[in-house]
Structure 1
Amino acid sequence: MLGTRLKALRIKKNLTQKQLAEKINVTNVSVSGYESGNRTPDTDTLQLIADFFEVSTDYLLGRSNHPQLTAEKDLEVDAEVDELMKILEAMPLEERKEMEARILAYAQGLADAKKRK
């Protein structure tokens, strides 16, 4: 999981393995090894990687599917989403559709505002 996520984050930032290696003070051979799964970074290096990409170590290790959340917070979010789904499912269909549209519009507004910052 670490290798796949590390490679995806690196590509998203348009970095070569060598460039990433320079940023986190390891060799490009080490980065290649992390991405292929043939090497595991020590805890200090793992934290450097997480800090550089602004994600949690739990995300890098596959214990969370949300980049900024720990495994514990990920479970809390899942519980909150489950609660929201229960509320929506209890609503009549027309009300549910209206509420879903409002929630999506609100979420999109938050995402747009974040992009503008």
Structure 2
Amino acid sequence: MQYGDRLKKLRERKKMSQQQLADELNINRSTYARYELSNTQPDFEILKTIADFFDVSTDYILGHETSEENKLDYYKNKIATDFPDIDLMFKDMESLTAQEMKEVYEYIKFKMSQKK
């Protein structure tokens, strides 16, 4: 996945138009559109501003880091696999971040180890 695809996905998750995001970044919409098309690359300052706005790392945007979504799926699957007797209501946990889901996993693992 190219950085432009990641930018588009992040923007769409926030239900923002290109114009709205461009306004937030204080750049032209056409400039931002070229970022999403991977026709041009944002400079370091804009890249950092975009990463901060979406609360992701610049490495994620550039494709050097596993996405938050993949991490979240990883921990959901790990909990379901490692602890099949635990009836978790994942629907109630949909709002958790990958970091929070990791903490849930580690807590369950800790509590299970106390029983042994």
Q: Using structure 1 for the length normalisation, give the TM-score.
A: 0.61
Tell me, yes or no, if the aligned pair for 1:50 and 1:56 is still in contact at 8 Å.
Answer: yes
Determine if the alignment matches structure 1 residue 41 to structure 2 residue 45.
no
Residues 54-89 of structure 1, C-alpha deviations (whole Å, 9 max, x = no match): 111111010012349xxxxx9xxxxxx8xxx8xxxx
Unaligned runs of 5+ in 1: 69-73, 75-80, 86-96
1:12-91 matches, within 5 Å, as 12-67=13-68
Question: For residues 113 and 24 of structure 1, what CA distance do their matches in structure 2 show?
Answer: 26
- Alpha carbons 1:21, 1:27 under 8 Å: kept: yes
User: What amino acid sits opposite 2:52 in the alignment?
Assistant: D
Give the equivalent residue in structure 2 for 1:111: 93
For residues 14-61 of structure 1, what are the alpha-carbon distances to aligned partners after superposition, in whole Å with 9 as ceiling and x for unaligned? 111111001111110111100001110000000000011111111101
Which residue is 1:77 aligned to?
none
Deviation at 1:104, TM superposition (A): 7.8
Runs (5+) with no aligned partner, structure 2: 98-116
Distance in 2 separating the partners of 1:8 and 1:113 = 18
The 2-side partners of 1:104 and 1:61 are apart by 37
CA RMSD of aligned residues (A): 3.1
**Where in structure 1 do 4 or more consecutive aligned residues deviate above 2 Å?**
102-106, 108-115
Shift of 1:103: 6.9
CA distance in 1, matches of 2:8, 2:95: 28
Percent identity over the alignment is 35
Change (3 A) 1:113 1:31: closer
Q: After TM superposition, list the pairs within 5 Å mapping 1:91-110 onto structure 2.
A: 99-102=82-85, 105=88, 108=90
**Do the aligned partners of 1:17 and 1:28 also contact (CA within 8 Å) in 2?**
yes
Bigger RCO (CA 8 Å, 6+ sep): 2
